A and B are shown apart, each in its own frame.
Chain A
Amino acid sequence: MNEDLNPTDPDLSWQECMDLLDRLPSFPAQDRVATIERLVRNPSPMIRERALRTGAAVVPDDRLVTYLRSDADDIVRNAGMEMLKMRGAKGLPLSVRLLRDEDPDVVLQAVLALGHLRDLRALEPLRASLTHTSPNIVAAAIEAVGRLGDDRAVPDLLPFLEADLWLQMAAVQALGDLRSSRALKHLSELLPDLMVGPMAAEALARVGGLKAFKALIDHWLLFGEDGDTETTLGLLAHVVEGLSKAPEPQPELLESLVGCLQSEDTEIRASAARCLLALGPTDLDDAALDELAEGQADASIVPACLDLRRDLASTLVAKGGKSRAWGFLLAAKSPRSVPVDVVVQALTTGLPSADTLRPAALALERIQSPRIAEALVDQFVAAESERGSVLVPLLATHRDYLEEVVSQRSDLDSDSRLVLLAQFGTEGEKVTEGILELDEDRRFAVLERIIDIEDIARRLPWRDWLGRDPDKYAPLAARIAARYGMADLLPTLRQLLIDQPTPEVVRAMGEFGDRESVPTLGEILNSDANPLIPIVLESLGRIGGPEARAAIREVIFNGKCEPRLGLRALSLCAIEEDDAVFRGAVGHADWYVRLTCAEVLGRFTRPENLAALSQLAADPVEIVSKQALSSLEA
């Protein structure tokens, strides 16, 4: 990073501007403001955004008000507006004060900022602005009141539905935002209006409910083909999906939706499909399902239009792809909706896709059958060993049936049989014996598939294996030892740490909090450019104690580690006498270093730490300033 950068230099590159922003926390206050005023003019959205965020935190109120008054300089005025918005709740008093400003432009910006804030404390001041002499301010105040979402404001807004178009549009928007059924009648009456009708339809959709649906349907059947079909149909779908019980669909509506299902426009087809499914069951369910699956809907959640359609669960499971995932999710809520035959059929068509796996596991928890266990074992046997492991979560749902199924199968190879037996949880001894009989390569493949089963992991002779082939077994043994707290393996792991340290062994020492390994870890730390240093630091931090702290401090001071990793490690085990290290780093260019400082300094309440935290509370990086504020509050 170039320390000589001059923020006023007009030819700063993108990277130099980013460097300046990184260094901003270490600048004196007036230099920060000057730099921000320059950077808000930068053509890069990212640089402008960061400059504005910093400005929101550090530019004083009176300076910010001068920005808002900058008639001649749009960039500065907009920057002031953005900073005011970015201040969030902290900006409320200033915004409220500015509502009484003599300059209507400043008042307008204050109203916009309050609308953005969505703080109910702004309701009364904004209601007062509804009587302002400037129509622009009134329109902005109407929309801001709507955004606050308090339905007590409905009577204040209704008169504007008969005002001039500009205010009428603002009122329609605001009434939609308030989502109050008190506005339904008034909004419905506006639907035929050519100018505000489309906005009223949108507002009705946001209010939702049966009355809004009926109003929209009536309007659709009268004018649907003449208006913006895509939008109106999308709104209808949104409203009908939100109803707790679908109304009986009118034949004219169904006929119209069938036409839309044939449209060339994908959005129209998708909305028609959503409406039909939410209104179903109808004869059109199948076509609508295909259309829905074709679209953008995510496989991991049931689309809203299918939420009440448990009757479709079975059809969906049988279909495959995204539909199958939705079917399983519905079946998980309502297991009787899908017959075992259908599930078995679905399981025999191949391994579940990544999208289907979780929904299938949820459903199979609720739909239990020996035939399903059999189908799962079939799939497990047919799949290659690595791919078959995706079935383990599904097999776990049918643990109670597996034993019988496995005992009856003569086509299982011994490795698969072992992995399946391990799932029972009752055959530990048998599985252990089986594993010991396997040759090294096959054994290792089986071990990787059953490592999550603690009972078996504990029974195995890890020390022997480590002695015979440490390269092969060390990573797995270290993981298992740390995971299940198998301290009897510690001496062997310590020796491995000396002879051939790996990330797993180093990490295990940290998990164990093993102080005896600190000298060895310290040596690795001081070896030149060892790639293990990040993991060693973390382990030392987790182990803690004077020796570990000393080792970490040493590499921080001699620059042998990335500052963020060194300070993070020290933060894990820091005591009060370390706080000077963190105070000295509050102006560091790396946000993560400053975040760590903000967290650690909050633990030790010395006056000088509070001063450092105050500096960090104005940090341009949000997570840092939040942590500092939280530490200060604590």
Chain B
Amino acid sequence: MQTPFERLTSAEHLLLNELIETRFGLSFGEEKRALLEGRLRPRLLSLGLRKFIDYYLLLKFDFESEATQLAHLLTNNESYFFRETYQFESLFADGPELLAGNGSPAWKILCAGCSSGEEAFTLNIFARESGRIDTTVDAFDLDTDRVRTALQAQFGRSSLRALDESAVNEIFRPQVGDLHELRPRFREGTSFTAGNILNLRTYPTQGPYDVLFCRNVLIYFSERALLTAIQNFAEMLRPGGLLFLGHSESIIGLTDLFETVRLSSCIAYRKVEEK
């Protein structure tokens, strides 16, 4: 009766992609079929499932119990400290003028899809080093394992790849093995939770926010999910608040909730004032 594990068929691929897209917004089109198969296969093996349709049926049976595992398998947002900082530089250079209308010098920043926290912590470091010590950075991600890493604030060498030795020593303290722990002063003001960009109820509740970062996440979204995400971002931002996306991501023409605004070295999207 023992038979080899079977390949992901076209129909199974479409079924699973449909489910993943609906629940997480992530889209694994035909060009990513092999990737999806590779990511899911270890899970099938550990569940003792032979066919991908069985995994689909298991998800239909009880999605919530499997959601964490599935999210961990599907999201692979490798990040590192001080990655593509031109947007941060622009925010802290141009933000005081652009965000002057929020009535408070303390900015509230939200990182959606924060992975293991490198981006959120980098923002926090920028805020502290530019004297905005009252800034808070809330962040969330679908993958609870990565959120746990962010909460522990311990990172391996690959997360520090953009830093030279002196910066590493200033920002981190060495731990056992290859791990480096973020110094407490750079953790202050940050918070991390598990949440789904598509589900507003899972967002942190400290809004409305002045600034929202969601970089290199929406590229994996279907159009339907993208529209939901934009709607949710608009809900979380105060009028005039700024949205920063990855450099290859654009929402121009997709929504009238935001307008583009040019900063010194990047483009951001400003939530339009309510009429």
B54 to chain A, nearest CB (A): 7
B81 to chain A, nearest CB (A): 14
Q: Mark A349-374, 1 if CB is under 8 A from B, else 0.
A: 01000000000000000000000000
Contact in complex: A565, B223 (CB < 8 Å): no
Contact in complex: B61, A321 (CB < 8 Å): no
Known: A350-B177, A451-B48, A595-B11. A46 touches B57 (CB 8 A): no
Residue of A nearest to B76 (CB): A354
Contact in complex: A454, B223 (CB < 8 Å): no
Residue of A nearest to B15 (CB): A592
- Between B57, B61, B177, B253, the greatest number of chain A beta carbons within 10 A of the residue's beta carbon is seen for B57
Interface residues in A490-543 (C-beta closer than 8 Å to B): 503-504, 507, 511-512, 531-532, 534-535, 538
Give the CA-CA distance A532 to B58 in the complex, in Å.
9
Contact in complex: A485, B2 (CB < 8 Å): yes
Give the CA-CA distance A1 to B253 in the complex, in Å.
27
Interface residues in B40-54 (C-beta closer than 8 Å to A): 48, 53-54
Interface size bracket, A side: 20 to 34
Give the CA-CA distance A18 to B224 in the complex, in Å.
10
Q: Mark B219-251, 1 if CB is under 8 A from A, else 0.
A: 000111001000000000000000000000000
Residues of B within 8 Å of A595, CB to CB, are 11
B167 CB within 8 Å of chain A: no
B62 to chain A, nearest CB (A): 6
Task: For B61, give its contact among A45, A454, A534, A562 (CB under 8 Å).
Answer: A534
Residues of A within 8 Å of B161, CB to CB, are 294
B69 CB within 8 Å of chain A: no
- Between B15, B48, B60, B222, the greatest number of chain A beta carbons within 10 A of the residue's beta carbon is seen for B48
Residues of B within 8 Å of A484, CB to CB, are 1-2
- Between B1, B53, B54, B223, the greatest number of chain A beta carbons within 10 A of the residue's beta carbon is seen for B1
A601 CB within 8 Å of chain B: no
Grouping DSSP codes into helix (H, G, I), strand (E, B) and loop, the B interface class, with mixed when no group exceeds half, is: helix
Grouping DSSP codes into helix (H, G, I), strand (E, B) and loop, the A interface class, with mixed when no group exceeds half, is: helix
A287 to chain B, nearest CB (A): 15
Give the CA-CA distance A482 to B51 in the complex, in Å.
13
Interface size bracket, B side: 20 to 34
Contact in complex: A479, B48 (CB < 8 Å): yes
A444 CB within 8 Å of chain B: no
Residue of B nearest to A479 (CB): B48
Give the CA-CA distance A534 to B62 in the complex, in Å.
10
Contact in complex: A538, B1 (CB < 8 Å): no
Residues of B within 8 Å of A532, CB to CB, are 61
Give the CA-CA distance A486 to B8 in the complex, in Å.
27
Contact in complex: A14, B48 (CB < 8 Å): no
B144 to chain A, nearest CB (A): 16
Residues of B within 8 Å of A485, CB to CB, are 1-2
Interface residues in B1-38 (C-beta closer than 8 Å to A): 1-2, 10-11, 14-15
A623 CB within 8 Å of chain B: yes
Residues of B within 8 Å of A454, CB to CB, are 2
A475 to chain B, nearest CB (A): 9
Residues of A within 8 Å of B85, CB to CB, are none
Known: A484-B2, A623-B14. A46 touches B58 (CB 8 A): no
Residue of A nearest to B53 (CB): A538
B96 to chain A, nearest CB (A): 29
Task: For B60, give its contact among A44, A479, A512, A534 (CB under 8 Å).
Answer: A534
Interface residues in A317-347 (C-beta closer than 8 Å to B): 321
Task: For A483, give its contact among B15, B48, B157, B177 (CB under 8 Å).
Answer: B48
Residues of A within 8 Å of B53, CB to CB, are 538
Contact in complex: B1, A623 (CB < 8 Å): no
B231 to chain A, nearest CB (A): 12
Interface residues in B138-164 (C-beta closer than 8 Å to A): 157-158, 161
Contact in complex: A538, B11 (CB < 8 Å): no
Contact in complex: A503, B61 (CB < 8 Å): yes
B199 to chain A, nearest CB (A): 18
Task: For B58, give its contact among A479, A483, A503, A591 (CB under 8 Å).
Answer: A503
Give the CA-CA distance A341 to B177 in the complex, in Å.
21
Give the CA-CA distance A507 to B48 in the complex, in Å.
11
12 A-B pairs in the complex with CB atoms less than 8 angstroms apart: A18-B224, A43-B253, A46-B222, A350-B177, A483-B1, A503-B62, A534-B61, A535-B61, A538-B57, A562-B60, A595-B11, A623-B14
The 3 closest A-B pairs by CB, nearest first: A485-B1, A479-B48, A534-B60
Extra A-B contacts (5), CB below 8 Å, given A321-B158, A562-B60: A14-B224, A503-B58, A507-B54, A531-B62, A534-B57
